[in-house]
Chains A and B, each alone.
Chain A
Amino acid sequence: EPEVTQTPSHQVTQMGQEVILRCVPISNHLYFYWYRQILGQKVEFLVSFYNNEISEKSEIFDDQFSVERPDGSNFTLKIRSTKLEDSAMYFCASSEQDSYEQYFGPGTRLTVT
């Protein structure tokens, strides 16, 4: 069964450093998303991406965040200058259609020290 993959599984970085989280969505999917979940809290939407542009973003997704689809398979989330409060699990998701049926990856645990 096709699945969304994410790398790395765990990233530790120092405050102020840039990080790039990588995702490989399911190959025939056209819609891509990033969510995050701070430990013990709700899953929060960050951004959706379609046709090489952002479709929607939340208030969390400020100028420190950016997304990119650098090639036909990868989808990345960049945080330019990490803060302690960026520590969370970051989930990538994809969907075939513009749909509530989204397929999530296993997540990247980001720890900012």
Chain B
Amino acid sequence: LAKTTQPISMDSYEGQEVNITCSHNNIATNDYITWYQQFPSQGPRFIIQGYKTKVTNEVASLFIPADRKSSTLSLPRVSLSDTAVYYCLVGADTGRRALTFGSGTRLQVQP
């Protein structure tokens, strides 16, 4: 599994766009990048997954440069309810499905 590195914490204000970057220098050819969100005392929630370039859904966008050694989760116009821990996971889309969570990025949104 590719090792990931992401900031321990970030602060933002309501209405701002938040970009959380994850480094995964040893990503393999068949690895996908997946982001999860976890609120306190709740289970993780799948946000978005991508392989290259850009993926967008109703919640977030995921930007992946051509070398795929990093990725950026973009949350448009955050609100207080976006305060959570965000995890970047990297792994192959075949075979082993055990999710390996790191420490994540704790996002605190202020009013």
Q: Which A residues fall within an 8 A CB radius of B?
A: 4, 31, 33, 35, 42-45, 48, 55-56, 58, 89, 91, 93, 95, 98-107, 109
Contact = CB atoms under 8 A, between A and B. Distances in A.
A107 B97 contact: no
Q: Tell which of B45, B94, B97 has the most Cβ of chain A within 10 Å.
A: B97
B103 A42 contact: yes
8 contacts: A45-B99, A48-B98, A58-B98, A93-B43, A100-B97, A104-B42, A104-B45, A109-B41
A39 to B, nearest CB: 10
Contacts of B34: 100-101
Interface string B43-83: 11110010000000000000000000000000000000000
A98 B97 contact: yes
Contact of A102 (B38, B46, B91, B103): B46
B97 A106 contact: no
Interface residues of B, number: 23
A33 to B, nearest CB: 8
A100 B89 contact: yes
Given A100-B32, A100-B49, A106 B100 contact: no
B32 A91 contact: no
A83 B94 CA distance: 35
Q: Tell which of A4, A89, A104, A107 has the most Cβ of chain B within 10 Å.
A: A104
B101 A42 contact: yes
B51 to A, nearest CB: 11
A44 B99 CA distance: 8
A42 B102 contact: yes
B93 interface: yes
